[in-house]
């Protein structure tokens, strides 16, 4: 009778033979064979190293920081064969800020997004990272994307400290916020600042009119049998969301007061009669109720963020330092901008899109929609819980504007 030690050796040899057979088998898809690249990947890799492509990212003196003659883009086209089908009817794309280590979480999300929606429309993807993407990442991701994919690097200037930030003060702030989610994270703050004020200026997004933000690890739980981009464009909508909630108060102690100061400093940018401020504050405009759209899912017009109004607001916030001295997130920044600059009819709740992020979900409660298209439980809808602000959003009158003339005079 063979010894236990011999059995273990034989088992190990058998495992190695099986793995080698699988890796080298000609019956496997080429992208999964050892050392064999996938057939005709539809992607282009762009490595941008400069801020000179971002004309609105100027410093206080009106000059783009660190702009030199060496800042020309470096582009390495790996492959870009024509697609078999025509892209969607709107100039739109998915925008995904992701790191190489999140490959498999994102791959699962993209597979769901394709199965639920994009296999019919083939919209392109723009992937952004604060470091170069690995070839493995690009090969594995494009295995599942039905539309063209481009991969870009975030310029260092947009993922680092601007010169007016006291980094020692920023360190102390992170230490003090150690008991708050992401409160001690430096990279999280860079991400929030990038998503608040720079992503929409990236050259890879220059040709697009609308974008749909997607994050690694999210789930899409319902078939989407219409085109949300077309829906937005036909109705002249500017911003769409699935989930809203209250922000953590400790992360934004001065955000609202800074926003009030901005409205006083730039009174001509906020229309007193066409805003949605009634969703985030009351008639006094003294306090912020912390409501915001959860921006990990948003479908929006890029020209809203590229507008003079929005850029002026971001620049004002950026100078105040709250992205680093507190923990201002892009979600409340986007939301307060929408409240100031958009009337109620320009904002849309996609209540029929099933979406889950970190166990918080939007699940259609219409039984006809849920029965035929979804796998989620409508009783798990975050809309039913107190932290949600979507009930208040739905309850807004068509005119949810607050007259801010009193604030502007104070």
Q: Residue 70 has which token pair?
A: 């060496």
Which contacts (CB < 8 Å, 24+ apart) does range 266-269 have?
266/312, 266/316, 267/408, 269/308, 269/309, 269/312, 269/313, 269/340, 269/341
pLDDT in tens, 116-132: 999 999 999 999 999 99
Question: Residue 77 has what pLDDT?
Answer: 33
Let me know if 95 is exposed, middle or buried by CB neighbors in 10 A (0-12, 13-18, 19+): buried
Lowest mean pLDDT among 40-44, 163-167, 280-284: 40-44
Residue 69 has pLDDT above 80, yes or no: no
Dist CA 179 CA 183 (whole Å): 7
pLDDT band at 16 (very low <50, low <70, confident <90, very high): low
Let me know if 47 is exposed, middle or buried by CB neighbors in 10 A (0-12, 13-18, 19+): middle
Question: Residue 46 has what pLDDT?
Answer: 58
C-alpha distances in angstroms, 54 versus 51, 64, 110, 212? 5, 8, 29, 21
pLDDT band at 403 (very low <50, low <70, confident <90, very high): confident
Decide if 404 contacts 274 (C-beta within 8 A).
no
**CB neighbours of 120 closer than 8 A, spacing ≥ 6?**
none
Domains of the chain (ranges; CATH) run: 1-36 (no CATH), 182-197+218-410 (3.90.550.10)
Q: Which residue has the tokens 């660190």?
A: 66
pLDDT band at 184 (very low <50, low <70, confident <90, very high): very high
The upper half-sphere exposure of residue 25, i.e. CA atoms within 13 Å in the direction of its Cβ, equals: 11
Question: Residue 30 has what pLDDT?
Answer: 31
Residue 134 has pLDDT above 70, yes or no: yes
Residue 114 a catalytic site member = no
Q: Which of 157, 247, 298, 326 is catalytic?
A: 298
pLDDT in tens, 288-297: 999 999 999 9
Question: Residue 49 has what pLDDT?
Answer: 34
pLDDT in tens, 332-388: 999 999 999 999 999 999 999 999 999 999 999 999 999 999 999 999 999 999 899
Residue 66 has pLDDT above 60, yes or no: no
Decide if 48 contacts 126 (C-beta within 8 A).
no
Residue that wins the pLDDT comparison between 85 and 201:
201
Dist CA 320 CA 169 (whole Å): 13
């Amino acid at each position: 009778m063979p010894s236990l030690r011999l059995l273990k050796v034989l088992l190990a040899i058998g495992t190695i033979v099986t793995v080698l057979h699988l890796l080298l088998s000609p019956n496997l898809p080429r992208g999964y064979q050892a050392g064999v690249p996938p057939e005709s990947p539809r992607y282009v890799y762009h490595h941008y190293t400069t801020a000179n492509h971002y004309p609105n990212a100027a410093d206080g003196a009106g000059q783009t920081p660190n702009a030199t003659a060496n800042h020309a883009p470096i582009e390495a086209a790996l492959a870009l064969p024509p697609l078999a089908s025509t892209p969607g009817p709107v100039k739109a794309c998915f925008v995904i800020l992701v790191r190489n280590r999140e490959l498999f979480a994102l791959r699962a999300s993209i597979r769901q997004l394709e199965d639920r929606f994009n296999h019919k429309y083939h919209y392109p993807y723009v992937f952004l990272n604060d470091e170069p993407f690995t070839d493995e990442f690009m090969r594995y991701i494009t295995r599942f994307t039905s539309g063209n994919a481009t991969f870009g690097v975030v310029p260092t200037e947009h993922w680092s400290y601007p010169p007016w930030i006291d980094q020692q003060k920023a360190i102390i702030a992170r230490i003090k916020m150690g008991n708050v989610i992401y409160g001690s994270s430096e990279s999280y703050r860079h991400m929030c600042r990038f998503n608040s004020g720079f992503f929409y200026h990236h050259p890879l997004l220059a040709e697009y009119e609308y974008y749909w933000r997607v994050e690694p690890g999210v789930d899409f739980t319902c078939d989407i049998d219409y085109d949300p981009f077309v829906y937005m464009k036909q109705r002249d909508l500017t911003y769409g969301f699935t989930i809203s909630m209250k922000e953590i108060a400790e992360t934004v102690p001065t955000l609202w007061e800074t926003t009030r100061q901005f409205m006083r400093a730039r009174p001509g940018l906020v229309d007193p009669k066409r805003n949605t401020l009634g969703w985030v504050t009351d008639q006094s405009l003294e306090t912020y109720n912390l409501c915001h759209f959860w921006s990990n899912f948003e479908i929006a017009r890029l020209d809203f963020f590229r507008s003079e109004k929005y850029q002026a607001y971001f620049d004002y916030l950026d100078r105040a330092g709250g992205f680093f001295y507190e923990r201002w997130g892009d979600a409340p920044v986007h939301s307060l901008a929408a409240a100031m600059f958009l009337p109620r009819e320009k904002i849309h709740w996609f209540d029929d899109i099933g979406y889950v992020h970190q166990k918080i979900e939007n699940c259609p409660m219409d039984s006809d929609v849920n029965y035929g298209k979804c796998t989620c439980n409508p009783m798990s809808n975050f809309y039913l819980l107190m932290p949600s602000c979507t009930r208040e959003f739905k309850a807004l009158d068509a005119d949810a504007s607050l007259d801010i003339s009193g604030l502007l005079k104070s």
